[in-house]
Amino acid sequence: MLPELSPLTFVGGLLLVYAALAMVFTFVFKSRSAVPLSRRRPDMGPQTSSFTRLTDHAVQALNKGVRRGGTGILNRDKLDAAGLKKGPGDYVLMAGALTFAAMVVGFLTGGAFFAILLLVLTPVALVVFLNVLVSRRRKKFDDQVPDTLQMFSGGLRAGHSLLRAIDAAAQESEVPMSEELNRVVNETRIGRDLGESLDEVARRTDNEDFGWIARSVEIHREVGGDLAEVLDHVGETIRDRNQIRGQVRALSAEGRISALVLISLPVVMFIGLTLFNPLYSKVFTSTLPGYLMIAAVVVLLSVGSFWLSRLIKPKF
């Protein structure tokens, strides 16, 4: 008698079969012709499948809906802040596909309860991941501001114009500073005001220090003076602020770790009990009082997380 396979093993085997079929059709049955179709039949336009056309229409409709909404969890500004290049519709479509896949896997492995749980948790996890990308990019941008400001003042002392100094700093900097400065240069070359472009960078990266740079440039354009010297003084102020910011983060590190442990401990304990002994968590996953208790726990953890996040985020 054959042993009974678990649903997770069945899903894993099914995915491996699909991957093998995809490799076979991609590499074995691939056309050996070295000349592309566009050269052999130049009168024909690019050929796209029905699935591709359907996906493009869905992405365009989603992009229009996001533009009409203007603001929200996922918009163009949020994606720009995260450094992602595609439109919001692409990521909404991918998030829907990932949520559906997670829901199917949850249903096959744990039943309807885990399917509903993953249906709720997967979009939340994707939003959290997007916020992590935004915070990481902004933190890296914050660290690059003092050195970039020194490049600006050095380029001005060398006799370059401000736009040429910004362009040179963009070539010497790393991502994300290089991307933002290149965007400023391109926008200025097509007619946008330089001060507006710099203010947009400060708003998009949520960087107050870069906002000071934009205001310094605007004041210099109105009253004149030695902009290189002004930028040097701004750079000294920014370095002092960064030093104080680092000291504050070091002093508040214990509170942040304590808050993380307090929030994650109930979740980790519940997952551990579910994996090692499902009888302990059966009352939570199969009865109405259990569902109500889980809902209460989610609400209390959400309120506690918000409260702790305000306590461990000092203002200065």
| CATH number for 206 | 1.20.81.30
- Give ∠ CA 72-262-119 in degrees, rounded to 5: 40
Domain count, the chain: 1
CB atoms inside a 10 Å sphere around CB 197: 19
Which helix (H) or strand (E) element contains residue 271?
helix 253-276
Strands (E) in 31-87, as ranges, are: none
Reported pTM: 0.68
Specify if 196 maps to a domain. Answer: yes
Angstrom distances, CA of residue 106 to CA of 14, 103, 212? 15, 5, 50
Phi, psi of 164, rounded to the nearest 5 degrees: -70, -35
At 165 the pLDDT is: 92
Do the beta carbons of residue 157 and residue 149 sit within 8 Å? no
Q: Is the dihedral of CA 184, 157, 208, 242 positive or negative?
A: positive
Q: pLDDT tens, 210-250?
A: 988 888 888 888 887 888 898 888 888 888 888 888 888 88
Contacts with 259 (C-beta within 8 Å, 6 or more apart), sequence order: 305, 308, 309, 311, 312
Residue 150, domain extent: 137-247
At 2 the pLDDT is: 39
57 vs 224, residue with greater confidence: 224
Specify if 211 maps to a domain. Answer: yes
Specify if 156 maps to a domain. Answer: yes
- Cis peptide before 3, with omega less than 30 degrees from 0? no
- Output the six-digit token pair for 73: 């969890």
Tell me which range, 20-29, 68-77, 103-112, 255-264, is most confidently predicted by mean pLDDT: 255-264
Q: pLDDT tens, 192-213?
A: 999 899 999 999 898 888 988 8
DSSP 252: T
Closest listed residue to residue 138, CA positions, set 209, 196, 59: 209
Q: What is the percent of the chain where pLDDT is above 90?
A: 16
